[in-house]
């Protein structure tokens, strides 16, 4: 049927439309061949074939839409011919389009193209820009241009002006500028390069967010360690004072026991003077009196034991907060002051805390004193050694009880009989 139809038949217009589509595709591939800088022979052949397609298309359009203006004999000849001529031309050039497409694919896989270089340049993980010594931009990638739009609100046009604007946004250090954004940290490094006898500027953009985040974390940890070392040094000093105080306390207990022994010996002497060495008894009384006089003098000159405990706690960086009525009796204040010193030392040493809360709750039968810190939760069983063991002994001497618990928070609870707490 097609062999007997002319181009002016109903199938003529669709045929010309197909030829137009092939014409556009072949035009694009021809331009691409010139951009890929193919050989002169290839470009000449493809240009000639493209011109032949242009002639076929012009003839078809002239036959369809301008028959009254055509007086060329060979067009008059083609006007009455069948569609086979135009169909053959369309198929030939469609095959050429397919062959050109395959050739472009193979050529781009085996050769480095200018477009490939630009695409690779844009896909770099860092921002890169090259410009003249005067600042005129010669080449930049998308990452650098996006940073310019994000930071300055405009595309990168002049390197010198861009560098001056960056200096106002960040920290400049010679040829390096650090710009901190809300969620990232950018580093811009400028350098001069010499290419083919000319000087060019090179600007490199790098995202250093992770490095600066780690640096800031290390600085914070170092600051915390320095603070912790300072507190530990104070704790060591306090520990030495506590050990010395404990030794003095043990010595006083021993002397007090000796006082009791001297008094018993003196009473026995009055009943049975013949069984007691008078000179030894007098020497024991003299030594005891000297110690008691010296102890009384130290007590008069000494400070309040509860206030001293709070002062030593604050000296190692532990704030003491007391809730409730402060006990007035001397023995309970001594016990509370010693407990504050010991719990403050444990707060720094084991809990890494900085606050100790002392809650005093009086009752009809007993008074409760609770010591609680804000440090880390203690894991494992609590072993009462050193200061805690001494604190328990002092509590039991006052007929009290002591409990130590680690969960949910570490706290020491002392229970004293109300009559004991009320004795001056």
Please say which residue of 163, 178, 207 terminates a domain: 207
Kindly state whether residues 224 and 191 are assigned to the same domain. no
Kindly state whether residues 298 and 194 are assigned to the same domain. no
Task: Please give the pLDDT value at position 47.
Answer: 87
Asked which of 4-8, 337-341, 348-352, 366-370 is least confident by mean pLDDT, the reply is 4-8
* Token pair belonging to 131: 């410009």
CA dist 203 and 35 (Å) reads 29
358: left (phi over 0), alpha (psi -120 to 50) or beta: beta
Q: What does the pLDDT look like over 39-55, one tens digit per residue?
A: 888 888 888 888 888 87
pLDDT value at 241 more than 80: no
pLDDT value at 78 more than 60: no
Kindly state whether residues 162 and 228 are assigned to the same domain. no
pLDDT value at 300 more than 50: no
Q: What is the pTM of this model?
A: 0.40
Task: Please give the pLDDT value at position 296.
Answer: 56
pLDDT value at 26 more than 70: yes
Kindly state whether residues 222 and 197 are assigned to the same domain. no
Contact status, residue 341 vs residue 242, Cβ threshold 8 Å: yes
- 116 in a structural domain: no
Provide the domain limits for residue 235. Answer: 212-302
CATH number at residue 400: 3.30.565.10
Task: Please give the pLDDT value at position 297.
Answer: 52
Please say which residue of 70, 88, 111 terminates a domain: 111
Of the chain, the percentage scoring pLDDT greater than 90 comes to 2
Task: Please give the pLDDT value at position 365.
Answer: 83
What's the chain's average pLDDT? Answer: 77
Kindly state whether residues 377 and 345 are assigned to the same domain. yes
Kindly state whether residues 366 and 266 are assigned to the same domain. no
- 33 in a structural domain: yes
Q: What does the pLDDT look like over 155-198, one tens digit per residue?
A: 888 888 989 888 888 888 888 888 888 888 889 999 988 888 88
Please say which residue of 267, 283, 302 terminates a domain: 302
- 25 in a structural domain: yes
Backbone angles phi, psi at 154, to 5 degrees: -150, 160
Cα 151 to the chain's mean position, in Å? 23
What is the three-state SS of the chain?
CHHHCECCCCCHHHHHHHHHHHHHHHHHHHHHHHHCCCCHHHHHHHHHHHHHHHHHHHHHHHHHHCHHHCCCHHHHHHHCCECHHHHHHHHHHHHHHHHHHHHHHHHHHHCCCHHHHHHHHHCCCCEEEEEECCCEEEEECHHHHHHHHHHHCCCCCEHHHHHHHHHHHCEEECCEEEEECCCCEEEEEEEEEEECCEEEEEEEEEECHHHHHHHHHHHHHHHHHHHHHHHHHHHHHHHHHHHHHHHHHHHHHHHHHHHHHHHHHHHHHHHCHHHCCHHHHHHHHHHHHHHHHHHHHHHHHCCCHHHHHHHHHHHCCCEEEEECCCCCCHHHHHHHHHHHHHHHHHHHHHHCCCEEEEEEECCCCEEEEEEEECCCCCCCCCCCCCHHHHHHHHHHHCCCEEEEECCCCCEEEEEEEHHHHCCC
- 422 in a structural domain: yes
Kindly state whether residues 190 and 268 are assigned to the same domain. no
To which residue do tokens 């901190």 refer? Answer: 180
CATH number at residue 173: 3.30.450
Contacts of 5 (CB under 8 A, 6+ apart): 11, 82, 83
CA dist list (Å): 342 to 120, 164, 371, 389: 67, 60, 10, 10
Kindly state whether residues 7 and 43 are assigned to the same domain. yes
Q: What does the pLDDT look like over 102-150, one tens digit per residue?
A: 888 888 777 766 666 777 777 888 889 999 988 888 888 888 888 888 8
Contacts of 56 (CB under 8 A, 6+ apart): 19, 86, 89
Most confident of 12-16, 225-229, 391-395: 391-395
How confident is residue 361, by pLDDT bands cut at 50, 70 and 90?
Answer: confident
Task: Please give the pLDDT value at position 198.
Answer: 85
Kindly state whether residues 313 and 405 are assigned to the same domain. yes
Kindly state whether residues 310 and 423 are assigned to the same domain. yes
The number of domains in the chain is: 4
CA dist 122 and 119 (Å) reads 5
How confident is residue 293, by pLDDT bands cut at 50, 70 and 90?
Answer: low
Asked which of 103-112, 231-240, 333-342 is least confident by mean pLDDT, the reply is 231-240
More confident residue, 394 or 274: 394
Q: What is the mean pLDDT of residues 17-32?
A: 86
């Amino acid at each position: 049927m097609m062999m007997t139809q002319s181009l002016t038949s109903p199938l003529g217009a669709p045929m010309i439309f197909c030829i137009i589509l092939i014409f556009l595709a072949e035009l694009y591939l021809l331009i691409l061949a010139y951009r890929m800088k193919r050989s002169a022979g290839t470009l000449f052949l493809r240009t000639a074939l493209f011109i032949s397609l242009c002639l076929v298309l012009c003839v078809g359009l002239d036959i369809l839409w301008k028959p009254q203006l055509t007086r060329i004999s060979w067009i008059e000849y083609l006007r009455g011919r069948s569609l086979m001529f135009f169909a053959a031309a369309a198929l030939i050039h469609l095959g050429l389009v397919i062959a050109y497409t395959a050739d472009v694919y193979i050529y781009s896989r085996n050769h480095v193209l200018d477009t490939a270089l630009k695409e690779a340049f844009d896909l770099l993980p860092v921002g890169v820009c090259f410009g003249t010594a005067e600042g005129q931009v010669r080449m930049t990638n998308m990452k650098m241009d996006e940073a310019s739009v994000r930071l300055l609100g405009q595309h990168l046009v002049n390197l010198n002006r861009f560098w001056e604007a960056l200096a106002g946004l960040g920290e400049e250090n010679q040829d390096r500028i650090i710009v901190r954004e809300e969620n990232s940290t950018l580093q811009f490094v400028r350098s001069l390069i010499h290419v083919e006898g000319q000087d060019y500027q090179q600007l490199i953009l790098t995202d250093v967010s992770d490095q600066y985040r780690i640096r800031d974390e290390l600085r914070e940890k170092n600051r915390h360690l320095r603070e912790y070392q300072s507190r530990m040094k104070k704790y060591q000093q306090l520990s030495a004072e506590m050990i010395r105080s404990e030794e003095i306390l043990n010595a006083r207990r021993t002397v007090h026991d000796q006082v009791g022994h001297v008094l018993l010996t003196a009473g026995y002497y009055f009943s049975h003077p013949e069984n007691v060495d008078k000179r030894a008894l007098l020497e024991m009384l003299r030594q005891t009196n000297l110690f008691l006089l010296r102890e009384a003098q130290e007590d008069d000159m000494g400070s309040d034991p509860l206030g001293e405990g709070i002062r030593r706690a604050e000296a190692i960086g532990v704030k003491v907060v007391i809730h409730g009525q402060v006990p007035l009796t001397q023995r309970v204040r001594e016990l509370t002051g010693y407990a504050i010193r010991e719990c403050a030392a444990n707060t720094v040493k084991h809990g890494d805390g900085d606050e100790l809360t002392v809650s005093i709750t009086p009752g009809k039968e007993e008074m409760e004193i609770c010591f609680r810190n804000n440090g880390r939760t203690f894991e494992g069983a609590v072993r009462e050694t050193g200061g805690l063991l001494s604190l328990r002994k002092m509590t039991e001497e006052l007929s009290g009880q002591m409990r130590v618990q680690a969960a949910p928070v570490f706290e020491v609870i002392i229970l004293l009989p109300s009559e004991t707490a009320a004795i001056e």
